[in-house]
Amino acid sequence: MDRVIVAGGGLAGVRAVEALRARGYRGALTLLSAERHRPYDRPPLSKAVLAGESDDTTVDADWDALDAGLLLGESATGLALAERGGVVASTAGDLPFDGLVIATGATPVTLPGDGHQHVLRTIDDARALRGRLTEGARVVIVGAGWIGAEVATTAAKKGCRVTVVEAADTPLANALGPELGALTAPWYAEAGVELVTGVKVAAVEHDHLALAGGARIDADEIVVGVGVRPETGWLAGSGLDVERGVLTDAAFRTAAGGVPRPDVVAVGDCAAWWSERYGRRLLVEHWDTALNAPDVAAATLLGQDAAYDAAPYFWSEQFGRMIQYAGSHAHAQRMVRRGDPADGTWAVVWLTGDRLDAILTVGRPRDLVQGRRIIAAGTPVDPARIADPQVPVRQAVRD
């Protein structure tokens, strides 16, 4: 293998470059990035950057030592596969390759309407929105998910008059379910944020948000945080198997018509990878996966045996609370509360039999660390003991 292209300049892309070099690849290596900035971390965008506490989250990478070409501000526009290798079509021209890492991430979903709507995906987005969050500004946020809550937190601290509009009946209904989402609803009122639930948006207009049914909410700024879609449009006609994300096996190896392509791997927010742990595909749009999974993708591209089966992990800081989650509860048999939300710190675990599938913590970081280790090890737990907030999670492991 003499020429490798990494398509995508986010965290997954730069980590793939580093992993390829660390694993001994010495051929030509080029990173293609649609953004004009060197790769940077995204989690601070809705926190420190938006708050004005930081203006640079560039990933600390030694590009001279990596000896990799950087094509910044250039986008992948198409892919033509040969029997082995192929060509990435891009705004910088055609880029032939022997190996390809697809790490093009995801694109925010936007709403109908002619009015300006802020999204929060890039550092330029964060800087532009930051300048509009002035005291007294009427800020309307569509979506009470992770991003919506974090933006609302920062905007309220800056003295904005904040309204959050959510189509579901509770915040975080899609991520955690309505029962847990309802527990976060009082946080909005505590922060002086108006929360409007069970209401769908018709359009974003120039000075207001138009709601289904004809009502409107006047706004100086409208922020849309209703999710993202994997950036896979440029792969149309390539033959690669794509369903929401780029389909891969546990080693991030792609396929074309069901036939494995060991010369093309996909990783990060655009990859729908097979998890042996959960017996299904996961599309994980979080920092931890973008940080750690590229090493496996690089190994696969170089013909080395590797598989990724880490339990997903993410965190969110909202309304003065640290929320952390590890695992996947989509197919768990039952949910068990650990502690009383009225006390301010609490946790929830999801179990299948005596297997810990996932854990959510609010202000209980030790529970999260211990639960994450149990999930990784697959160690059985005692459901009664893990439900007792006075018992450390690690002591709920069955003897």
Cα-Cα-Cα-Cα dihedral of 128, 224, 6, 294, to 10°?
110
Residue where one domain finishes, among candidates 252, 271, 301 = 301
Cβ pair 11, 123 in contact under 8 A: no
Do residues 336 and 369 both lie within one domain? yes
Determine the pLDDT at residue 100. Answer: 98
- Strand ranges of the sheet holding 221-224, from the earlier edge strand across to the other edge: 194-197, 161-166, 138-142, 221-224
Determine the pLDDT at residue 399. Answer: 76
**In CATH, what number is assigned to the domain containing residue 332?**
3.30.390.30
Task: Provide long-range contacts, Cβ within 8 A and 24+ apart, for 254-257.
Answer: 254/102, 256/81
Do residues 149 and 47 both lie within one domain? no
Residue 311 inside a domain? The answer is no
Determine the pLDDT at residue 396. Answer: 96
Do residues 95 and 136 both lie within one domain? no
Do residues 100 and 234 both lie within one domain? yes
Residue 178 inside a domain? The answer is yes
Residue 309 inside a domain? The answer is no
Do residues 238 and 328 both lie within one domain? no
- 363 DSSP 8-state letter: S
Residue where one domain finishes, among candidates 200, 224, 248 = 224
Helix (H/G/I), strand (E/B), else coil: 166: strand
Residue 250's CB: how many other CB atoms inside 10 A?
A: 16
Do residues 11 and 116 both lie within one domain? no
H-run or E-run covering 291: helix 287-292
Do residues 99 and 236 both lie within one domain? yes
Residue 344's CB: how many other CB atoms inside 10 A?
A: 11
Q: Is the pTM above the cut of 0.85? A: yes
Q: How many domains does one find in the chain?
A: 3
Do residues 171 and 115 both lie within one domain? yes
Residue 76 inside a domain? The answer is yes
Residue 39 inside a domain? The answer is yes
328: domain range? 320-396
pLDDT tens for 307-343 read 999 999 999 999 999 999 999 999 999 999 999 999 9
Residue 84's CB: how many other CB atoms inside 10 A?
A: 11
**In CATH, what number is assigned to the domain containing residue 160?**
3.50.50.60
6 Cβ neighbours under 8 A, 6+ residues apart: 13, 16, 17, 29, 30, 31, 32, 68, 100, 101, 103
Residue 308 inside a domain? The answer is no
Do residues 41 and 186 both lie within one domain? no
Residues of the chain short of pLDDT 70, as ranges, are none
Do residues 168 and 115 both lie within one domain? yes
Residue where one domain finishes, among candidates 176, 195, 224 = 224
Do residues 127 and 165 both lie within one domain? yes
Give the separation between CA 389 and CA 380, rounded to whole angstroms.
Answer: 18
Residue 307 inside a domain? The answer is no
Do residues 170 and 188 both lie within one domain? yes
Residue 315 inside a domain? The answer is no
